[in-house]
Structure 1
Amino acid sequence: MTMLFQPLDSDGHRRSELYHAARLAMLQCRVLMRFDRVEDAADKVQAAAELFAEAARPAGSTQTLGM
C-alpha cells in the first residue's frame, strides 16, 4: 500500500528546535522589556526619595544626605 501523504510528525526534531528558538527569542524580549520597566520604576523611586529628603531637611540646614 502506498502512502499518499507523509506522516505529520516526519521531522519532529527540527520543528522542536524551531519552536524552542522562537520561544527563547520571545522570552529574551520579555526580559528586556521587564528590565526597562524596572529601570523606570527605580528612577521614579529615586526621584521620590530625593523629594522626601529635601522636604524632611530642616529649613536652615545646608547639609546634604549624599545623594
Structure 2
Amino acid sequence: MQHHGEGLLAEVHDRDWVEAFKRDPEGAALDAADAAMITYVAKLTRTPGQMERRDVLALREAGFADR
C-alpha cells in the first residue's frame, strides 16, 4: 500500500485522509461506488478463491460496468 498511497496522495492532496485510508481502507469515508470497489478489491486480494458472482453484481449495482 505504500507505493499506491503515494499515488493516491498525488490525486487527493490530503495526507491525513490517505494515512487513515492506508490504516483502514474499508472504514474510510468513501462514496457508495468507491466503497463497493474497495470491498471487492480487498476480497479479491485476500481471498481470491472465495470470489462469487454476487461480488461482481455488487459492483454493477454501484454503477460499474463490464466495459
**Same fold (TM > 0.5):** no
Instruction: Indicate the structure with greater helix content.
Output: 2
What is the TM-score with the length of structure 2 in the denominator? Answer: 0.30
What is the TM-score with the length of structure 1 in the denominator? Answer: 0.30
